[in-house]
Structure 1
Amino acid sequence: MVTASAGYDPDRPLPLHQLVYLADGEEVTVGRPDIDSYGIFPADGAEIVRRLEAGATPRDTAAWYLDEYGESVDMDDVIAALGELEFVRPEESAEAGAAPETATAPVRWQRLGAALFSPPAWIAYAALTAWALVVMVRRPDLAPTYNHVFFTDYYTVVQAALFVFAIPQLLLHEAFHALAGRRLGLRSTLTIGRRLYFIVLETSLPGLVAVPRRRRYLPILAGMLADVLVMAVLTLVADLTREPSGAFSFGGRVCLAIAFAVLIRVVWQFSFYLRTDLYVLISTALGCVDLHDTAKQYLRNRVNRLLGRTGHLVDESGWHETDRRTARWYSWLIVVGYAVSIGSFALAAVPIGYRMLVGVLGRFTGGGEVGWEELLDSAVFSGLVVLQFVIIAWLMIRDRRNRRAQRRLAHVIA
């Protein structure tokens, strides 16, 4: 298929869609918010696009660039890039004299997003969180602990409850991301993926790159806000539904189990090497381009230099300067992230898994003293555990195949 920019008349204005521009340091983000297509240009490149959009011909724009910067510009490459980003209007609509679009379609749920992050809402969130903290200080049995996970002796019920309740909690986490962006008029998409041994949902907000940096922070952190609010509500419900004796009701024990699971996901955000919300926050605040890969390569080079393996050093010439400066200290946060993962695994997953393993083996080897209900529970629980590992293995194999396919495609293109 021939694109609109494949052949152009240098003496005729290039028909472009309506574009938005956001200057950020020495670079400018240019894009089409109607299709969420964006590119990062140097300041002089963005000015070329501005002039073309304003109606200047490619020949006049090239002449202006030569006078302004004393260098020539390859307009073929510029226009080809604009075509790949779908900034160029199709020849049919341009020849028909169709007027460029003046507005994009309205974004759904924008009012709800504005209400959820309005000043009254923030006051309510602060009061709710403070209430939960005060209650936990006054009644230490509400403080999160892995023992809360065992709200019943049936492990299958524990596993099923945590899984079932995790789905709406994850959706709420991602909904807060999406609504915080939609209040700014940004579209969003939801996908499923994997981070280490976690199955995760991911909200994509492509238009966030065209928003001033200080307004990006809330959409990035909104998911963690939802997690904190969920923990606060569950803690308060558990406290308010106590039995007359002061013991937790069954519903209260379930709430505390779910609250602990949510806490683990909040702690997981500090595993920076997994490119979590906190990683995105740091990368955005510092204006980085590819901090994750740069920091990993920087750390690998540091280790190889210490070991004297200079032949294994990664070429640093392709790193963005901001990424290079940030990687000098951020690479240590990658190490911190691994420590957080290992620590949370040791302090939560290991004791929970050990208790369940001992319980299951005890039932299978307990002889006639164990009832059929407990044996059935242990059998079903074991099957579900195996199924989880199968799903994770399948996702890992799928990701590896995709990476291999991308490498083959890159080789063919090269």
Structure 2
Amino acid sequence: MKISLQSEITLYPLSIRKDKKNYIVEEPISGDFFELPEISVDAIKRLEKGEGLAAIEKTLKESYPEEEVDIIEFVEQLVELGLVQEVDGIEIHKEKEKHAKSQGGFKWIPHWVGRLFFNGIMNKVYLLLLITNIFILILNPELFPHYKDIFLFDSMVLNVLTYLLISLVLIVIHEFGHILAIRSHDLPANLSIGNRLIFIVFETDLTQAWKLEPKKRNILYLAGMSFEQVILFLSFGFMLLFPDASFVGIISIIVLDIFIKSVYQCCFYMKTDVYYVVENVTGCYNLMESGKIYLSSFFKKSGLDHKKMFEDEWNLVRIYSVFYIVGVFLTLLLTFMYFIPQLYYMITTVYLNIMGAGDRAAFWDAMAFLLQTMLMLILLVYLARKKRREN
């Protein structure tokens, strides 16, 4: 469909809200959110008033002399984004469908239940628990997790299943933190399954959080970690009060799992909960993408002036790039401190049992472990391919 300066444009009803730097535009029918600069929002408001494209282009050129204005190209972009309903009275046949989160989204959880866990007082309690947990770990270095903490039993299959079960329970608790936090604002959320590196994870879709101001969005992003701080505090308490109890082994796995996941939250080469908080605080919502462009410039000459490209975000992008690299080193540190030693211990134990170092039960346990590992790898490959197809 050809668009000209004489075309009449009808947009879908849009909700526009000022954010830190630009504006957040919501298209309620699809539930999509877009970040747009002031000039774009100005154009949209004029389109909603029924002004002609030629008049809008002339006004924008006068109001924003430093900007390149092409109203036809802008309208074509709006069509691509699915924000245009009609052009010259002809409906744009673009499928618009409510997201699943708008239809379901744990709405059966009353918003007052979410408010019990996330309010002004509780948010301060979670912060206090984080600080307390750090001090407990500093004052009691023996509580620091060890890579052998997951090996509670002689059976390797039982060790792996125990760790996976505990990790799964902690993931569910983490995600319910996000869900209760967003329900405290009476907004819906969706839960899906995916993978991050070698880990299978549940992921809560917090897209509707864009309805809120940045400060409130931060609470939603940190909600899962807040619940983890409660569990970590209780775990440290039990380990200090009952150091010789039989359940300490299970608690050690809980501490190890939360510790590793907390470190991963600081790996900014992934879009973690903490990463989204940094985006909110800075108002730079393409921080990762900009950081990758900046870092790639050290390895290949693009001929681009990155300082001019990023403009007022230049310093933020450079600082983020440092943390991006730090995140890579943190991952390597975890790999060498935990994953490689754990993998080596498992492989050597399984190998010796297959070669007959143990009894018959140990041999079949080793064979079952190999089958278990193959099934996990198949599941990870499936999730990775599914994610690639979706992207």
TM-score band, normalised by shorter chain: 0.7 to 0.9
2:324 matched residue in structure 1: 334
The structure 1 residue matched to 2:43, chosen from 48, 60, 66, is 48
1:321 maps to which residue? 311
Counterpart of 2:234 in structure 1 is 233
Residue pair 1:20, 1:210 contacting (<8 A) in 2 also: no
**Partner in structure 1 of residue 33 of structure 2:** 38
Alignment equivalent of 2:354, drawn from 361, 364, 376:
364
Taking the aligned partners of 1:120 and 1:264, their CA distance within structure 2 comes to 28
| Alpha-carbon distance, 1:127 to partner | 6.8
Match of 1:220 in 2: 221
Contact kept? 1:289, 1:320, Cα under 8 Å:
no
**Aligned counterparts of 1:125 and 1:220: Cα–Cα separation in 2:** 13
Query: Are 1:20 and 2:16 an aligned pair?
Result: yes
- Aligned CA distance change for structure 1 residues 92 and 394 (closer, same or farther; 3 Å): closer
Corresponding position: 1:267 with 2:255: no
What is the CA distance between 1:161 and its match in structure 2?
Answer: 1.3
Residue in structure 1 matched with residue 245 of structure 2 by the alignment: 248
Quote the residue 2:96 is aligned against. none
Equivalent-residue separation in structure 1 for 2:132 and 2:275 (angstroms): 29
What are the within-5 Å matches in structure 2 for residues 93-172 of structure 1?
108=107, 109=109, 110-122=111-123, 125=126, 142-172=143-173
Of 81-90 and 326-335, deviating more is: 81-90
For 1:345-364, list aligned pairs within 5 A: 345-364=335-354
* 1:113-170 alpha-carbon deviations (Å, 9 max, x no partner): 3222113434654676677677767876544323322222222111101112222321
Do the aligned partners of residues 398 and 234 (structure 1) sit closer, same or farther apart at CA in structure 2, a change above 3 Å counting? same
Distance (Å, rounded) in 2 between the aligned partners of 1:278 and 1:67 = 41
- The aligned residue for residue 383 of structure 1 is 371
User: Structure 1: which 5+ residue stretches go unaligned?
Assistant: 94-103, 305-311, 407-414
The separation in 1 between residues aligned to 2:387 and 2:123, in whole angstroms, is 40
Q: How many residues align?
A: 373
Taking the aligned partners of 2:274 and 2:133, their CA distance within structure 1 comes to 24
1:330-384: CA deviation from partner (whole Å, max 9, x where unpaired) = 22222211211111111111222233233223333345xx333322222212222
- TM-score w.r.t. the length of structure 1 is 0.75
Distance 1:366 1:66 in 2: 81
Matched residue type, 2:335:
F
Mapped partners of 1:341, 1:373: distance in 2: 36
Which one is further off, 211-220 or 54-63? 54-63
Q: How many Å apart are 1:283 and its aligned residue?
A: 3.0
Letter in 2 for 1:277: D
CA distance in 2, matches of 1:68, 1:131: 53
- Alignment map for 1:49-64 (pairs within 5 Å): 49-54=44-49, 56=51, 58=53, 61-62=56-57, 64=59
Residues of 2 paired with 1:196 and 1:146: CA distance?
19
Do structure 1's residue 301 and structure 2's residue 297 form an aligned pair? yes
Shift of 1:261: 1.5
Conserved? CA contact 2:25–2:34, under 8 Å: yes
**2:198 corresponds to 1:197:** yes
User: Aligned residue for 2:97?
Assistant: none
Label 1:105 to 1:233 Cα distance change in 2 as closer, same or farther (>3 A).
same
Q: Distance in 1 between matches of 2:233 and 2:187?
A: 29
Q: Give the 3 Å change call, closer, same or farther, for CA 127–48 of structure 1 in structure 2.
A: closer
Q: 1:18 to 1:288 in 2, by over 3 A?
A: closer
Given that residues 16 and 23 in structure 2 are in contact (C-alpha distance below 8 angstroms), is that contact kept between their aligned partners in structure 1?
no
Distance 2:36 2:284 in 1: 14
- The superposition leaves residues 299-329 of structure 1 with CA deviations (integer Å, 9 ceiling, x where unpaired) of 2322x3xxxxxxx323535843355433323
Q: Which secondary structure does the structure 2 equivalent of 1:294 belong to?
A: helix
The TM-score, its normalising length taken from structure 2, stands at: 0.78
Q: Highest Rg: 1 or 2?
A: 1
Counterpart-to-counterpart distance in 2, 1:387 and 1:155: 15
Instruction: Give the direction of change, closer, same or farther, for the CA distance of 1:138–1:43 in structure 2 (3 Å limit).
Output: closer
Kindly tell me: are residues 355 and 114 of structure 1, through their superposed partners in 2, closer, same or farther at Cα, counting changes over 3 Å?
same
The 2-side partners of 1:335 and 1:147 are apart by 28
Distance 1:204 1:72 in 2: 36
Distance 1:36 1:147 in 2: 46
Q: Give, in whole Å, the separation in 2 of the partners of 1:203 and 1:135.
A: 30
1:14-54 Cα offsets, whole Å, 9 max, x none, are 354142222432x3222224532222322122112123334
- Match of 2:189? 188
User: Contact between 1:196 and 1:274, CA under 8 Å: does it hold in 2?
Assistant: no
Partner amino acid, structure 2, of 1:382:
L
